[in-house]
Amino acid sequence: MTKKVLIISTSLRNNANSEILAHETERGATDAGHQVEFISLKDKNIGFCKGCMACQKLGHCVINDDANAITEKMKNSDVIVWATPVYYYEMSGQMKTLIDRANSIYATGYNFKDVYVITTSADGAENTVQTVINGLNGWSACLPGTSIKGFLNGGGLEEPNDAKQNSQLLQKAYDLGKNI
């Protein structure tokens, strides 16, 4: 079955390891026959949620920036893949900001049920990414029927572009996309 897959790369760094792995996941999902859209937050203007809750009545945020268009794409996707660098043992701030701004999803509904996560970090320890998983599990818990279906941890990547030199990790990213 063909799925609409939305990959959201949240790193703002050029040659970001998380984005490199996200592109490999994109390639795998495309090769599997899925309809894939890749969004990078690099050049997006996304302001902070004001907590006004107007989105619950309007079906979209009152702030007129790039978050509304991305949220619409999220709602209409079957699968969402988040790719984030790990900063201080947590998802990137821009990822968290977009999640907060996608609050209209609760009131307007959504198609996606499957969520996948790609993380990269300089620290290679397994528990480095646990708070990222905890944060996304919290988000999923607020969206009935959704859950994290897959996870790729790219730990031990210290410099930009390091992921391109790790053929094993690139293969895992490709396989993640292929098996969505």
- Tens of pLDDT along 14-41? 889 999 999 999 999 999 999 999 999 9
Domain range holding 136? 4-178
CATH of the domain at 22: 3.40.50.360
pTM here is 0.96
pLDDT value for 137: 94
The answer on pLDDT for 107 being more than 90 is no
pLDDT at 125: 86
Which residue pairs, CB below 8 angstroms and at least 24 apart, start in 14-18?
Answer: 14/160, 15/160, 15/161, 16/85, 16/120, 16/160, 17/85, 17/120, 17/154, 17/157, 17/160, 17/161, 17/162, 17/163, 18/83, 18/84, 18/85, 18/118, 18/119, 18/120, 18/154, 18/163
When the pLDDT of each residue in the chain is averaged and rounded to a whole number, the result is 96
82 — pLDDT class (breaks 50, 70, 90): very high
- In whole angstroms, give the CA distance from residue 47 to residue 98: 8
- Closest C-alpha among 134, 127, 170, 145 to residue 80: 145
Is residue 117 within 8 A of residue 25, CB to CB? The reply is no
pLDDT for 126: 82
Give the HSE-up count for residue 176: Cα atoms under 13 Å, Cβ half-sphere.
32
**Count of domains in the chain?**
1
Count of CA atoms in the C-beta half-sphere (13 A) of 34:
24
